[in-house]
Structure 1
């Protein structure tokens, strides 16, 4: 048995966090969790200035000593990701924890009904932001010999679901990217994991896909299988904070489902 103590998630007092997609849902809940765990500096990135300012207030209320910054930016572009990284390095003094959880205005739809011109747009908006961000942030983490990256995909990456052909392909790309980057970056002390939720109650994405039409019927059936309860953003955030903490220092390359029992993906 080892002699080291198990470090609780509270020990993030030396870790700065960059949460892209951090103004709502899983991203905001994770930012709040990191602040509660003692992170001294947090930057949240999103496209809505109004939501950004609201997020800053909420995070600050979780830890009044945490320096919280909002950056309005779009991570779906190469230039946007580069700007996020440069501002994070400048303001935070370095990124110890990167959380990538960007959203896209995409609804599940049968493949036969997806216009060919939409395929690349859907795939790129979902799959590429975390890669753009990692491309900019990993060199800095490598220079500092350590860091944590937490991506957010979905169980569509693991379970074939009608209506999620392109979405599932994009999410699977995130999962395989995460696993491969974890192997490549481990020698630099960088850990990379990915969360794969299904439905997440109360998020804009879930409200959008369950409002009407084909996807509403699809996910109503899925919710009935969540006998442990449909997860909330805070459930994902708790896992993200653990993965960011020293308690998870041996964990990398893992794709972890949080779905309340909808599947054993």
Structure 2
């Protein structure tokens, strides 16, 4: 990918499956990667793999639902790696329940992590990008945002909100040389999906039904997402903004 070498990139949820894989790929492309995660131990494991491969980066504990924690993390990143060139909003959380069986506390947590946390990250990083008149933002949403998903009503609402928010920010900041694009995974083999499936009445049946619905015949892997994320982070996508790309084995085929 063009234009990633020596760029400073923040990846939220960098200790997880998709986030960790994205961090490693971006580091292999020559970027300096700030691995942010609520779980510092998980972030440090990702960083260890980056350093073992000859890459550059740092690991930071950051709860994206806490604006003061976001501001502190951004300050640490800029002090240690330099101004942020790319933001990858990947952190997320989900539960599997019919909407009428959920409660307000669960809604609040889902919204805080999946939507408000991303708003905090944009609000913190955008002023610097505007001042430098350059930047890339990649938001990891979900195909649930595009077509809905039974048992994920509030999660889908948050990811749908992230998609429309991304398009709006793309319009507001195009004149500043900032691009904003969205990657929508389908069902992907991660710890988040495992927890989601295990909460279903019949996890094996759920996995089978998802697999049957995917034209390419399997669930996604974290590695399936990193190419799309890296592309939107790179200069190869310099004339692309406000777009949504499904990486779901053909589960959804929206034009």
Question: TM-score, length-normalised on structure 2?
Answer: 0.93
Deviations 1:148-182 (A, max 9, x none): 01111101111122212111111101111111001
Corresponding residue for residue 251 of structure 2: 262
- 1:10 CA displacement: 4.9
Corresponding residue for residue 90 of structure 1: 79
Question: How large is the RMSD of aligned CA atoms in angstroms?
Answer: 1.6
- 1:18 CA displacement: 0.9
Corresponding residue for residue 131 of structure 2: 143
Corresponding residue for residue 50 of structure 1: 41
Deviations 1:238-264 (A, max 9, x none): 111111111111111111111112222
Match of 1:128 among 109, 112, 116: 116
3-state SS, counterpart of residue 69 of structure 1: strand
Are residues 1:80 and 2:72 paired? Answer: no
Corresponding residue for residue 237 of structure 1: 226
Deviations 1:116-145 (A, max 9, x none): 343233222211111100100000011111
Q: 2:210, 2:219 within 8 Å by CA — same for their partners in 1?
A: no
Deviations 1:182-208 (A, max 9, x none): 11011110011111112112x111111
- 1:92 CA displacement: 1.6
Q: 2:96, 2:199 within 8 Å by CA — same for their partners in 1?
A: no
Change (3 A) 1:215 1:113: farther
Corresponding residue for residue 6 of structure 1: none
Q: 1:109, 1:215 within 8 Å by CA — same for their partners in 2?
A: no
Are residues 1:208 and 2:195 paired? Answer: yes
Q: 2:95, 2:199 within 8 Å by CA — same for their partners in 1?
A: no
Q: 2:188, 2:220 within 8 Å by CA — same for their partners in 1?
A: yes
Corresponding residue for residue 3 of structure 1: none
In 2, distance between residues paired with 1:114 and 1:50? 30
- 1:235 CA displacement: 1.4
Corresponding residue for residue 246 of structure 1: 235
Greater Cα offset, 117-126 or 178-187: 117-126
In 2, distance between residues paired with 1:170 and 1:98? 19
In 2, distance between residues paired with 1:215 and 1:154? 22
In 2, distance between residues paired with 1:85 and 1:219? 38
Change (3 A) 1:140 1:262: same
Corresponding residue for residue 33 of structure 1: 25
Deviations 1:87-136 (A, max 9, x none): 222222101111111122x3121111112343233222211111100100
3-state SS, counterpart of residue 198 of structure 2: coil
Are residues 1:16 and 2:5 paired? Answer: no
3-state SS, counterpart of residue 242 of structure 2: coil
Consecutive unaligned residues of structure 2, counting only runs of 5 or more, are: none
In 1, distance between residues paired with 2:56 and 2:78? 14
Greater Cα offset, 79-88 or 217-226: 217-226
Are residues 1:61 and 2:52 paired? Answer: yes
Question: TM-score, length-normalised on structure 1?
Answer: 0.89
